[in-house]
Amino acid sequence: MIKSGKIWKFTGVGLIVYVILAGMLVPLKTGIESVEPSFGNAGEVLEIEVTGYNSHFKEAGNAVRAWLKWENGKALASKSIIIKDDRKLTLSFSIPGNLPEDKEVQTVSLLIDNPIDGTSVLPSAIFLRATKGNVQSENDKWVTPGNFSKVTGITFPFRNILGETIRNTYFHVPLWFGMMFLFLFAVINSIKYLRNGTPEFDLKAEAFTHTGIFYGIMGLVTGALWAKNTWGAYWSWDIKQNMTVVALLIYAAYFILRASFEDPEKRGRVCAAYSIFAFSTLIPLLYVIPRLTDSLHPGSGGNPAFGSQDLDNTMRMVFYPAVIGWTLFGFWISSLQFRYLRLQKIQEDLD
């Protein structure tokens, strides 16, 4: 199933060029990078240093508004805002004695709004300890934040820990999609070989497996680099990381199996059967087991992996072309590998 013709190769390359340009050059939405300190007590004045990302506080000046917002919708407006520069603010909040929730430690989000940047949210920004003593109720302090500024322009979402690395989504994740397609075509060609016995299918299966493993290794390496800068370590013994290594080792054994046979027919048949087995392990290893337990990866504890929470509409504009582009690119590499193997076989047959 390797199509002839050049259009699909150029399409793949063109899509990847688009992904590199769009994925790297679209700016991130304004966000809140850090809040210091992140603890406070009820009944006290809380003063926090806020660092924004891609923010323009100085430019916005008096139009900056800030709130601490509870999950039940109640919010506190800031008492004073001191703007240090475009990215640094000192906010002070007068926390009332009575907090809206019934818990001892309550989590609040920080909202900052200004007409230049729009609204930024840092979820679970501050932990407030409720007091147990006798305090006057100050119900007039509660506000509902509203009238949010809208800004135009295409931006990628800002996530506190990820920052700019969110752009990795266009490179790391499509490698895995590509790997699945490549292994899928490997198993299709293996099945075809078992039914027909034409050596071409066996070579195609080998070529697809070769490129699939390459994509898998690149996915692991890019993932490790990304993890170092977000999760803190190159390897976290995360369930998905572990299962991916297991899957790749199973596929690596495919090549050891190939090398251990002399007779090409026998080799082809046994390896084709092994390829079917290897592909059938991919589904439980990569898609079932990681979703069952806790994982650092998106999609764990029963959630669908990489679902609507992980992608934004602006990201989808780059992500879907990225998947198609990298997959087509992988198919091109496989086709080159296959043609090389076929020529090698012709030469062997001549000898």
CA quadruple 221, 226, 232, 238: dihedral sign:
negative
Closest CA to 109 of 119, 124, 97, 98: 124
Closest CA to 271 of 189, 344, 177: 189
Pairing of strands 80-85, 39-41: unpaired
Least Å from the CB of residue 172 to other proteins: 14
For residue 243, the Cα-to-chain-centroid distance in whole angstroms is: 17
Kindly tell me which of 20 and 184 has the beta carbon lying closer to other proteins.
Answer: 20
Q: Tokens at residue 187, please?
A: 């198993």
Q: What are phi and psi of 281, to 5 degrees?
A: -85, -20
Least Å from the CB of residue 164 to other proteins: 8
Closest CA to 177 of 20, 18, 325, 289: 325
User: Which residues would be at the binding site for other proteins (CB under 8 A)?
Assistant: 9, 13, 16-17, 20-21, 24-25, 27, 53, 332-333, 336, 339-340, 343, 346
Kindly tell me which of 16 and 111 has the beta carbon lying closer to other proteins.
Answer: 16
Least Å from the CB of residue 53 to other proteins: 8
Least Å from the CB of residue 341 to other proteins: 11
Least Å from the CB of residue 82 to other proteins: 21
| Amino acid identity at 130 | A
- Burial letters 168-187, b for 16+ CB under 10 A, else e: bbbbbbbbbbbbbbbbebbb
Kindly tell me which of 24 and 154 has the beta carbon lying closer to other proteins.
Answer: 24
164, 54 Cβ separation under 8 angstroms: no
345, 32 Cβ separation under 8 angstroms: no
Integer Cα distance of 155 and 185 in angstroms: 36
Least Å from the CB of residue 20 to other proteins: 5
Integer Cα distance of 324 and 326 in angstroms: 6
Pairing of strands 118-129, 39-41: parallel
Longest CA–CA span in the chain (Å) reads 97
Polymer length in residues for the chain: 351
Kindly tell me which of 195 and 228 has the beta carbon lying closer to other proteins.
Answer: 228
3-state SS assignment for residue 92: strand
Least Å from the CB of residue 335 to other proteins: 8
Integer Cα distance of 314 and 321 in angstroms: 12
Least Å from the CB of residue 88 to other proteins: 12
Least Å from the CB of residue 206 to other proteins: 16
Kindly tell me which of 20 and 224 has the beta carbon lying closer to other proteins.
Answer: 20
Kindly tell me which of 47 and 200 has the beta carbon lying closer to other proteins.
Answer: 200
Integer Cα distance of 331 and 327 in angstroms: 6
Which helix (H) or strand (E) segment holds residue 108: the answer is strand 105-114
Kindly tell me which of 19 and 99 has the beta carbon lying closer to other proteins.
Answer: 19
Kindly tell me which of 17 and 292 has the beta carbon lying closer to other proteins.
Answer: 17
Kindly tell me which of 27 and 304 has the beta carbon lying closer to other proteins.
Answer: 27
